[in-house]
Amino acid sequence: MRLIRNPLDRRTMLRGLGATMALPFLEAMMPSAKAADIAARPKRLQIFYSPNGMMMKDFVPSNTGAGFTLPSTLEPLAAHRERIAVVTGLGHPQAAAMGDRPAGHGRSCPAFITGVHVKQTEGTDIRCGVSMDQVFADHLGDATQLSSLELGIDQASLLGSCDIGYSCAYTNGISWRSPTVPLPVTANPRDVFERLFGDGETLDEKGRIAQLRRQTSILDFVMEDTARLSRDLGMADRAKLDEYLTATRDIEKRIQRAMTSPVTTGPGDMVQPAGIPDSFDAHVRLMIDLQVLAMQADITRIGSFMIGRELSNRTYPEIGVPDSHHMLSHHGNNPDKMEKLAKINRHHMGYFAYYLDRMQAVKDGEGSLLDRTLVLRGSAFGDPNDHDHMDLPVIVAGGLIKGGRHIAAEKGTTMSNLLLTGLHLLDVPVKAIGDSNAPFRALTDA
């Protein structure tokens, strides 16, 4: 393999009129092919969140350790079985009422990656804690263009009350920059694409939207810069750059199709703005692909994805569930409701499998994005019928852990211990997060 004598700056951009494109990690950016250089490839964090809990009987494997059997909800993850650790028994003691009003969603969702008991309020005086992803972002500093990328499916609102006595800020996102600053999710793919690739120097926002509507491509603007760079790259890097540009153009086309579709009505009669696909399936896959593209280009190393806001009332007629997700979560042990809730859980798990598929498919040196990414998947409840915040459905995936295991935590163990261990795997030298009291060593023990 040919190596460029002077390594290419990792911050090199493809530039054109009103657009910039970060580059994927190329071999030309490495001073040599030594093992130490390969080991120095950046580590990443991705968090996948599903709302309204889980039918635990269809999630918890019947046996622990290696060789566990995948229950029905986890069957979509069969191809990634050796890359995942299913963790059960962890809880968030800080999601308990502690004298507050009995509104579990408003406390459990914000505790998910903070481990903090939130202030009960419907006003602007919200208070939580710094979330795991933002602790990692602080550690990385300005290593990337964006410190983190928070994506979702539902349009977020930080105003008003979404649970009894609790602000919508507590249920419409999971990331907290500081105890008083929640980070809202972005649900419109067009807005995400603009954030990743628009530079704002020449074309204003209306101009870039018009460019998308004309079906032209950002690649047209950076064509000359791309050709110049390609001449100096080796064969493997040219192939990787082409793969990245192809993925970018594919996403552009999907956003352009959504922008030319008629304005539609989403869940709860909410109007979906131009840029959001009509189909839930198309929307979810597009948002996941944008998250992976942002990592591929090293625009950010930290991402979170909410497949639905907490308390989501979305229906899923495409899988034979025309009922509200949240209403089904309060199943009252009704077999029909429990079966439908399990269908939704499995449906969401299929998208998590797609998330892992996409990371596995993108090359990162000798391995893949997944090899250097810590992936955390979970919900704020176990059994939602009881608002059970002390037996959470958690999956940890990626190349930074030993997979192929079901780990049953000791009852009462706080999930903050797992968050702490995750930060240590990402080389963040913190001593605590939330209410952690010790690292969750079961995750790192062979």
Count of CB atoms situated within 10 Å of the CB of 440: 24
Q: What is the pLDDT of residue 274?
A: 64
Is residue 38 within 8 A of residue 399, CB to CB? The reply is no
The amino acid at residue 446 is A
Residue 145 sits in a domain whose CATH number is 3.40.720.10
The tally of domains found in the chain comes to: 1
**Cα separation, 272 vs 266, whole angstroms:** 6
> Which band of pLDDT confidence, cut at 50, 70 and 90, is reported for residue 87?
very high
DSSP 303: E
What's the whole-model pTM score?
0.88
pLDDT, mean of residues 56-80: 96
Place of tokens 């023990």: 445
Overall average pLDDT of the 15-35 stretch = 69
Q: pLDDT tens-digit profile of 307-342?
A: 999 999 999 999 999 999 999 999 999 999 999 999
Q: How far apart are CA 373 and CA 370, in angstroms?
A: 5
Question: Is 19 a residue whose pLDDT tops 80?
Answer: no
Residue 265 located in a structural domain: no
Most distant CA pair in the chain: distance in Å?
67
- 8 is a domain residue: no
Q: Report helix, strand or coil for 338.
A: helix
Query: Would 200 be classed as within a structural domain?
Result: no
Q: Is residue 192 part of a domain?
A: no
Q: 271: which residues sit within 8 A by CB, 6+ positions away?
A: 263, 264, 265
Using the predicted structure, report yes or no on whether residue 264 has a pLDDT greater than 60: no
Residue 229 lies inside a defined structural domain of this protein: no
The residues, ordered by sequence, that sit 6+ positions from 248 with a Cβ below 8 Å of its Cβ are 21, 197, 218, 219, 293
How far, in Å, CA of 191 to CA of 276, rounded?
10
Is residue 203 situated within a structural domain? no
Q: What is the pLDDT of residues 372-426, one digit of tens each?
A: 999 999 999 999 999 999 999 999 999 999 999 999 999 999 999 999 999 999 9
Residue 241 counted as domain residue: no
Would residue 255 count as lying in a domain? no
In which domain, by residue range, is 402 found?
41-187+276-443
Q: Which of 334-338, 362-366, 437-441 has the lowest mean pLDDT?
A: 362-366
The rounded distance, in Å, linking the Cα atoms of 224 and 278 is 35
Tally of CB atoms within 10 A around 437: 11
- Identify the H or E element spanning 248: helix 235-259
DSSP label of 380:
S
Q: What is the mean pLDDT of residues 5-32?
A: 71
Q: Specify the DSSP element, H or E, that contains 182.
A: strand 181-183
Express each pLDDT in 154-172 by its tens digit. 987 666 678 889 999 999 9
Per-residue pLDDT at 164: 85
